[in-house]
Structure formats: C-alpha cells, structure tokens
C-alpha cells in the first residue's frame, strides 16, 4: 500500500534526523567549525523538507488508516519536529557565535568600557498563557500572542506556527490538530482560530452571562465583594473594548450588583445614599 511505503520512508528520515542530532551533541568543540555546521544544517534541512512533504501526503489518508497507523498514534511527526528544531537551534546558535566579534574597547564619557559587538545575543524566552477555547480568554490570548509572535518580523512562519500549536489546549488544539507545522500553514491556522473565536456575538454573550450570573453573597465578606467588583469591572472593560455602550448601563449594572450583596452589605449601601432622587452610577463612590 502506498501509504505504508510513505510511513516506512518517514521513519527512515526520522531516524536520520535523530542520528544527526545525536552525533552533533557528541561532536567535540574543536570540530565545530563554520563549514562543519553549515554542511550538517543543509543536510538536516533536506531531510526535513522530505519529511514534511511526505507528511502532508499522509494527512490525506482515510481516518481509519490514521487511527491504526503507529505513525499517527505515536505522533512521529511531533517527535521528528522536536529533534529537527533542537538540532537547527543548536546549529544556528553556533553559527551566530561565529558572527560575533571579540569585545572591543569603546570610549564613553572619557572612560573605557567593554562592549560586545554581537547582535545575536540569546534573550530569555517570553512566556505567554495557553488558550483552551474559552471565549473569556480569547481576547487576552490573541492580543498577547499577536504582540509577541504574530507581529514579530524576526520569526519565520514555521517558528510562529510551532509557537501557536504549542500554546493551544483542549478544543482550540483539536481545531488545528491535523494541520502540519509549515511555512504556508501558519496563516491558515491563525485565520481558523480567528474565524472560530474572534466571534463578537459569542464574546458578548459570554461576558454578559458572566456579569449577570455572579453568585449572591450569603454572609458579609470584603473578599467576596472585591471579587464581584473585579469581575464586573473586567466584564464592562471587555464589552466596552469591542464597541458596546457600557457607559450608559449604570442603572442596570448597579441594580444587578446590589442584588448580589448579602443583607447587611445591601442595608449599608442603602444608608449611604444621599437621596432617593439621585441614581448612583457604577464609577461613583456612594
């Protein structure tokens, strides 16, 4: 069967990439010249291009075949990608080190300091939260990911694709599970997530539901009151950010929140009102 032959070829390519990584780790520093690293990087790229091309073909196999094949059940693609990415990262960092010049003396304010002229210093990774498909988390995840990864011109689409896949969980992960990590698939994956979760109606319903479904406080508690205030502030801020006229909702919001207070807190609120003719606003202290 044609797919069986492709799977055998994939396993062979996977073994070749794994051996390249293992041998690279064992290589002594004196042998890690620029030419040595570049030659092995070229070989690794050729292996990966073949692996990814064959993987895309295998994705067209019937679901029954994919469910039975160890290639899919053992997630050989992800294992191979991890090894390739590990190897490529090690080799790129080594090549970058060849581009760095030795520290030179630079006069600053009549004093001498040591300044590194290497533009490729490795910075600590920036962590961002994962997204599992909850509409309440989408806007925050989208904006952070867009700022750190999507709009980052120093990252290739392959890198962005891998970052995106690794940051998804649950329903969101399943949505793009069958899409291979590649240069061309990143935009497809990002658009799919935006089409599913950048849904104004669903986001509005989620936050209005969160606002009106707050649990009522049974006994006087400053902590619980702060929690109600925080949740309400969050909901109103999100709804306002997507264009809803929340500034005109004061009467409804205040009434809703008052109904969530315990009896004693509700009584104290009423006592602090200066007049029954003046309606309290959300942002106005009472």
Q: What pLDDT, in 10s, does the model give residues 196-228?
A: 888 778 888 888 888 888 888 887 777 888 888
Longest Cα–Cα distance of the chain, Å, equals 85
Q: 85 in helix, strand or coil?
A: helix
**Of 163, 179, 198, which marks where a domain is finished?**
198
Q: Are residues 192 and 239 in the same domain?
A: no
Check if the beta carbon of residue 48 is closer than 8 Å to that of residue 113.
Answer: no
Q: Are residues 6 and 89 in the same domain?
A: yes
Q: Which helix (H) or strand (E) holds 157?
A: helix 157-166
The whole-angstrom separation of Cα 282 and Cα 286 is: 9
Q: Report yes or no on 52 lying in a domain.
A: yes
Enter the pTM of the model: 0.43
Chain length of the chain: 286
Q: Are residues 70 and 7 in the same domain?
A: yes
Q: Which helix (H) or strand (E) holds 104?
A: strand 104-108
Q: Report yes or no on 277 lying in a domain.
A: no
Q: Report yes or no on 143 lying in a domain.
A: yes
Domain range spanning residue 211?
201-272
Q: What tens digit of pLDDT does each residue of 233-284 get?
A: 888 888 888 788 888 888 888 888 888 888 877 777 777 766 666 666 776 5
The whole-angstrom separation of Cα 134 and Cα 136 is: 5
**φ and ψ at 168, to 5 degrees?**
-105, 145
Q: Are residues 179 and 249 in the same domain?
A: no
CA gyration radius for the chain?
28
CA dihedral 158, 160, 166, 170 (to 10 degrees): -110
Give the up-direction half-sphere exposure of residue 237: CA atoms within 13 A in the CB hemisphere: 10
The most confident of the ranges 41-45, 87-91, 129-133, 218-222 is: 41-45
Q: Are residues 161 and 205 in the same domain?
A: no
Nearest residue to 266 via CA among 228, 234, 210, 235: 228
The whole-angstrom separation of Cα 66 and Cα 73 is: 8
Which pLDDT does position 123 carry in this prediction? Answer: 37
User: What is the total count of domains within the chain?
Assistant: 3
Q: Report yes or no on 121 lying in a domain.
A: no
Q: Which helix (H) or strand (E) holds 190?
A: helix 185-197
Q: Are residues 194 and 205 in the same domain?
A: no
Q: Report yes or no on 286 lying in a domain.
A: no
Residue 109 has pLDDT above 80, yes or no: no
Q: Are residues 73 and 149 in the same domain?
A: no
Q: Are residues 15 and 79 in the same domain?
A: yes
pLDDT band at 120 (very low <50, low <70, confident <90, very high): very low
- % of the chain exceeding 70 in pLDDT: 84
**Of 105, 127, 154, which marks where a domain is finished?**
105
């Amino acid at each position: 069967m044609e797919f069986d032959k492709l799977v055998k070829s994939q396993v062979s390519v996977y073994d070749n990439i794994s051996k390249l990584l293992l041998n690279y780790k064992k290589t002594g520093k004196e042998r890690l010249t620029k030419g040595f690293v570049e030659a092995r990087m070229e070989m690794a790229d050729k292996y990966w291009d073949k692996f990814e091309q064959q993987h895309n073909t295998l994705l067209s196999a019937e679901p029954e075949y994919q469910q039975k094949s160890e290639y899919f059940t053992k997630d050989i693609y992800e294992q191979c990608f991890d090894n390739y990415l590990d190897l490529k990262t090690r080799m790129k960092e080594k090549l970058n080190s060849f581009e760095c010049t030795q520290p030179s003396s630079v006069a600053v304010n009549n004093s001498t300091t040591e300044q590194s002229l290497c533009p490729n210093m490795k910075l600590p990774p920036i962590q961002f939260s994962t997204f599992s498909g909850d509409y309440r988390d989408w806007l925050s995840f989208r904006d952070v990911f867009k700022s750190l990864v999507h709009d980052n011109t120093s990252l290739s689409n392959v890198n962005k694709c891998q970052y995106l896949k690794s940051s998804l969980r649950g329903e969101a992960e399943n949505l793009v599970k069958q899409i291979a990590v590649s240069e061309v698939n990143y935009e497809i994956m990002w658009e799919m997530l935006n089409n599913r979760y950048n849904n104004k109606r669903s986001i509005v319903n989620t936050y209005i539901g969160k606002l009106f479904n707050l649990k009522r406080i049974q006994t006087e508690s400053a902590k619980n009151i702060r929690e109600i205030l925080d949740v309400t502030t969050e909901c109103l801020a999100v709804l306002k950010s997507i264009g809803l006229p929340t500034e005109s909702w004061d009467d409804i919001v205040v009434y809703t929140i008052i109904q969530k207070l315990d009896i004693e807190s509700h009584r104290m609120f009423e006592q602090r009102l200066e007049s029954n003719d003046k309606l309290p606003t959300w942002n106005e202290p009472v």
